[in-house]
Amino acid sequence: MSDSVAVGLVGAGPWAGMVHAPTLAAGPATRLAGVWARRAEASAELAGRYGAPAFERIEELFDACEAVAFSVPPDVQAGLAVRAARAGKAVLLEKPLAMDLDGARRTAEAVAEAGVVSQMVFTLRYSRAARAFLARVRDLDPFGGYGAFVSSALSGGPFATPWRLEKGALLDLGPHIVDLLDASLGRVADVRAHGDPLGWLGLTLEHEGGAVSQASVSMAGNGELPPAHVEVYGRNGYARLDWSQLGDDAFATMVAEFAAAVRGGPAPALDAAHGLRIQEILASAEAQLAAG
């Protein structure tokens, strides 16, 4: 497609290889313009699978693309996304936006100052099931909700990466649940946290308008685990969304909407500013846990 958006990929790890690269290369709204990673051999291998170039310098990647997709640890993303935005590139950003709130602020500010398109990879929010769930929730007059996300990432596997092993569930799983409860029940106005990010972590969220919700997240699970889910209760009924309902359309839909925004379409609602707001909630929870 001649009008496809040339997207450069930063990162060549498991998630980049499983999702980012094949989706960007599949088009039709995008084409994979190249790959850059800190390990040259990894970027060459991933780029070679899709007939795309691998770049030794990230500036060469910027020169070859209109937009940059990130699949790297949060602390790495924060610094490189600032450089991409200042180079005038639209950015597709993983959650969390950065490893800490200062990094998230710098990233969101750089995006805003450059005036480039940004979109957060809150993947499940782009699924048909999640959108139908949120449409139903609007009719419930909701007053409360609950979310749970338990994984076994701390036990090993491709996602037992150093930053996850250090930070635990709050920064990895927390963004998904907090974002969905925020979308379902109104903007989060306050958070109270207890537990252990490397064990079991609980969050109580107070929402603008008076609704209250709880979230439980853990990466210390083992064995056969139930799917993550969110439940919303309202004066007009009840709705539930769980991850087993999510099809394989979400990431492709997200990429297509990102490309449309780059081409002048509607600006993404889940942009860097939204990512920063979610991170502010997580940072408040993290500070409470650190203070005991």
DSSP per-residue letters across 247-285: -S-HHHHHHHHHHHHHTT-PPPSS-HHHHHHHHHHHHHH
- Order of strands, edge to edge, in the sheet holding 188-195? 188-195, 201-207, 212-218, 142-150, 229-234, 237-242
Which percentage of the chain shows pLDDT scores above 70?
Answer: 99
Instruction: Choose which CATH entry (1.10.40.30, 3.30.70.60, 3.30.360.10, 3.90.1280.20) describes domain 128-246.
Output: 3.30.360.10
Give me the amino acid identity at 41.
E
Architecture of domain 5-122+249-268: 3-Layer(aba) Sandwich (3.40)
Average of per-residue pLDDT across 175-197:
98
pLDDT at 292 over 90: no
User: What is the model's pTM?
Assistant: 0.96
- Please give the Cα distance from 282 to 290 (Å, whole number): 12
Q: 273, exposed or middle or buried, with CB in 10 Å at 0-12, 13-18, 19+?
A: middle
Query: Which residues are CB-contacts of 18 (< 8 A; sequence separation ≥ 6)?
Result: none
Sign of CA dihedral 92, 156, 216, 282: negative
Is the separation of the CB atoms in 150 and 228 below 8 Å?
yes
- Domain-wise residue ranges, the chain: 5-122+249-268, 128-246
3-state secondary structure of 232: strand
Q: Would you call 292 helix, strand, or coil by DSSP?
A: coil
Per-residue pLDDT at 193: 98
Confidence band, pLDDT 50/70/90 cuts, at residue 249:
confident
pLDDT at 56 exceeding the cut of 60: yes
What's the half-sphere exposure (Cβ side, CA atoms, 13 Å) at 181?
36
Sequence-distant (6+) residues with CB within 8 A of 97 are 74, 77, 78, 103, 104, 107, 108, 120, 272, 275, 276, 278, 279
- pLDDT bin (cut points 50, 70, 90) of residue 77 is very high
As a whole number of angstroms, the distance between CA 240 and CA 95 comes to 23
What distance in Å separates the CA atoms of residue 139 and residue 192, rounded to the nearest whole number? Answer: 28
Q: What do you get for the CA distance between the two ends of the chain, in Å?
A: 55
Determine the Cα–Cα distance for residues 96 and 91; give it in Å rounded to an integer: 14
Question: What is the reported pLDDT for 1?
Answer: 45
Confidence of residue 2 (pLDDT cuts 50, 70, 90): low
pLDDT at 160: 83
Task: Kindly report the backbone phi and psi dihedral angles of residue 223, in degrees, each rounded to the nearest multiple of 5, phi listed first.
Answer: 75, -160
C-alpha distances (whole Å) from 56 to each of 53, 72, 99 are 10, 16, 25
Helices (H), the chain: 14-15, 21-26, 40-49, 58-64, 74-86, 101-114, 128-137, 162-167, 169-172, 174-185, 250-262, 272-291
Peptide bond between residue 74 and the one before it cis (omega within 30 degrees of 0): no
Whether 133 and 109 have beta carbons less than 8 Å apart is answered as no
Structure tokens at 190: 């306050």
